[in-house]
């Protein structure tokens, strides 16, 4: 495996990779694969940092600049200097279909507590469920493993696991579970599938969750009516939770997540059935009790991964939302004013492949993971 990475001297403020800027001259090494790409508000080059990855899913940085990277077959690796070390100590992972080792996030107070959080598909009563766990980093291994939550009941088929992790800064952690391909659990408040879940950082239930104290609803549910949310970030300035999710044939959505709200699936969607193209329920705007998305994508772009750019390397992109697209294989730049989408731009269509994840790095550049059996980590950096 070819790895072209030099340790970055930076310190992170949060697990969303919202870090301090570093000297632009202190950058990871890599191989330039596209010399100059001209977009509406920036000109940039594309640098391959790591290649030969097996369906990579998530990436996060430690405060000292070392990088954690997950691959769906069930590998978490630590990248340091020019070496990549697979870490032992992961729990049992059922890697099949769309399942496996999924997202990874570093606790905002990692320097004090050492916690790394990750999601994965776990075996549950002969089926699978999305799990959230945390562990600390030892010498080539994960230690102090704690499984904080596992989706129950387990389900088949092996798809629509979610699953992104964010820390809103109030002592809680949010993560997503998809509808697992079964649709109806998304409207069942006694089933965690198709929901955004909110836990205290130790896995307990916050007393101020929207359904806490009720006996007829799972108290960990924060929002529901989601199909398969694979992008979620905390806005670096407002603290608002932004999330996107896959629709069926069309109807991918970009949403603001609010506690206790219903986002419609499968009762309301802008998407249609795959084969017949018949409507699935009503459209979200037709019901005032259902949250209408900020924007929807029809035909589907199959969104995965998201970052709201806030670095100093691309001033023309400040505050823009960047979404990875598995379908049509591109990066979708969404220009917003407040919470209103004003325009969009496609970047790198068919240049890198299926985009699985996007992060703002501690150096102010944008990092991109591609979802292939020979996937890679790429960096977008400005051309002066």
The pLDDT value recorded for residue 80 is 87
Residue 265 lies in a domain: yes
Domain count for the chain: 1
- Which amino acids are annotated catalytic? 160
Distance CA 168, CA 133 (A): 17
So what's the pLDDT on residue 28? 56
Q: How many CB atoms lie within 10 A of CB 343?
A: 11
Do 322 and 307 contact (CB within 8 A), yes or no?
yes
Is 291 strand, coil or helix? coil
Structure pTM? Answer: 0.93
Distance separating alpha carbons of residues 80 and 273, to the nearest angstrom: 46
Contacts of 95 (CB under 8 A, 6+ apart): 72, 73, 74, 101, 121
Low-confidence ranges of the chain (pLDDT < 50): 1-27
85 in a structural domain: yes
Per-residue confidence (pLDDT) for residue 30, from 0 to 100:
87
Tokens 């089926």 sit on residue: 127
- For residue 36, what is the enclosing H or E element? strand 31-38
Task: Provide the 10 A C-beta neighbour count for residue 189.
Answer: 17
CA distance 63 to 13: 8
Residue whose C-alpha is closest to residue 6's, from 21, 23, 34, 26: 26
Alpha helices in 255-338 (DSSP H): none
CA-closest candidate to residue 267, choices 283, 243, 252: 283
Residue in the block written with tokens 């309301």: 268
355 in helix, strand or coil? strand
Residue 24 included in any domain: no
The secondary structure of residue 170, as a DSSP letter, is S
Q: Where are the alpha helices (DSSP H) in the chain?
A: 110-113
Q: Is there a domain that residue 4 lies in?
A: no
- Number of helices and strands (H, E) in the chain? 1, 25
Give the span between the Cα atoms of 193 and 127, in whole angstroms.
14
Question: Could you give the CA distance from residue 66 to residue 6 in angstroms, rounded to a whole number?
Answer: 9
Chain position carrying tokens 């018949």? 278
In-domain check, residue 1: no
Tens of pLDDT along 54-104?
Answer: 999 999 999 999 999 999 999 999 998 768 999 999 999 999 999 999 999
Q: Rounded distance, CA 242 to CA 306, Å?
A: 9
The pLDDT, as a whole number, for residue 81 is 75
**Residue matched to tokens 């600390």:** 136
Contact 272, 280 (CB under 8 A): yes
Q: 3-class DSSP state for residue 187? A: helix
Range list of β-strands (E), 185-329: 195-200, 221-224, 229-234, 241-245, 252-257, 295-297, 303-308, 321-325
**Inter-residue contact 232 to 210 (CB < 8 Å):** no
| HSE-CB for 20 with a 13 A CA cutoff | 13
CATH of residue 253: 2.120.10.30
Residue 77 lies in a domain: yes
- Burial category of 226 from C-beta neighbours within 10 Å (exposed 0-12, middle 13-18, buried 19 and up): buried
Distance CA 375, CA 353 (A): 9
Q: Which residues pair with 12 in a beta bridge?
A: 19
Q: Copy the structure tokens of residue 345.
A: 């731009």
Domain containing 59 equals 31-382
Four-residue CA torsion sign, 183, 187, 190, 194: positive
Domain annotation covers residue 111: yes
d(CA 381, CA 35): 10
The pLDDT value given to residue 17: 44
Q: Which residue has the tokens 């070819």?
A: 2
Evaluate whether residue 121 is within a structural domain: yes
């Amino acid at each position: 495996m070819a790895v072209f990475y030099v340790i970055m001297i930076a310190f992170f403020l949060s697990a969303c990779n919202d870090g301090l800027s570093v000297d632009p001259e202190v950058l990871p090494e890599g191989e330039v694969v596209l010399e100059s790409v001209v977009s509406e508000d920036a000109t940039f080059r594309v640098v391959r940092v790591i290649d030969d990855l097996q369906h990579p899913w998530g990436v996060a940085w430690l405060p000292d600049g070392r990088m954690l990277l997950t691959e769906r077959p069930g590998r978490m690796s630590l990248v340091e200097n020019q070496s990549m070390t697979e870490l032992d100590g992961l729990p049992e992972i059922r890697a099949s279909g769309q399942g496996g080792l999924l997202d990874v996030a570093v606790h905002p107070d990692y320097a004090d507590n050492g916690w790394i959080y990750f999601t994965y598909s776990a075996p549950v009563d002969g089926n699978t469920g999305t799990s959230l766990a945390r562990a600390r980093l030892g010498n080539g291994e994960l230690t102090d493993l704690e499984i904080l939550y596992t989706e129950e009941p387990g389900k088949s088929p092996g798809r629509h696991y979610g699953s992104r992790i964010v820390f809103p800064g109030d002592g809680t952690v949010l993560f997503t579970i998809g509808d697992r391909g079964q649709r109806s659990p998304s409207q069942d408040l006694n089933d965690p599938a198709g929901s955004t879940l909110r836990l205290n950082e130790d896995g307990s239930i916050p007393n101020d969750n929207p359904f806490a104290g009720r006996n007829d609803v799972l108290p960990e549910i924060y929002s529901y009516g989601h199909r398969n949310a694979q992008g979620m970030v905390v806005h670096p300035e407002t603290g608002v939770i932004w999330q996107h999710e896959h629709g069926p044939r069309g109807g991918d959505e970009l949403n603001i997540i609010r506690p206790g709200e219903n986002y419609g699936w499968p009762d309301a969607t802008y998407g249609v059935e795959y084969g017949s193209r018949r409507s699935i329920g009503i459209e979200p705007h037709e019901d005032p009790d259902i949250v209408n998305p900020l924007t929807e994508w029809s035909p589907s772009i199959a969104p995965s991964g998201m970052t709201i750019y806030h670095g100093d390397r691309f001033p023309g992109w400040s505050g823009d939302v960047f979404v990875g697209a598995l379908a049509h294989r591109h990066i979708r730049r969404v220009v917003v004013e407040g919470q209103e989408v004003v325009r969009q731009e496609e970047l790198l269509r068919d240049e890198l492949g299926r985009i699985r994840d996007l992060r703002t790095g501690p150096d102010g550049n944008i990092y991109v993971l591609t979802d292939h059996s020979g996937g890679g980590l790429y960096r977008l950096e400005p051309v002066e």
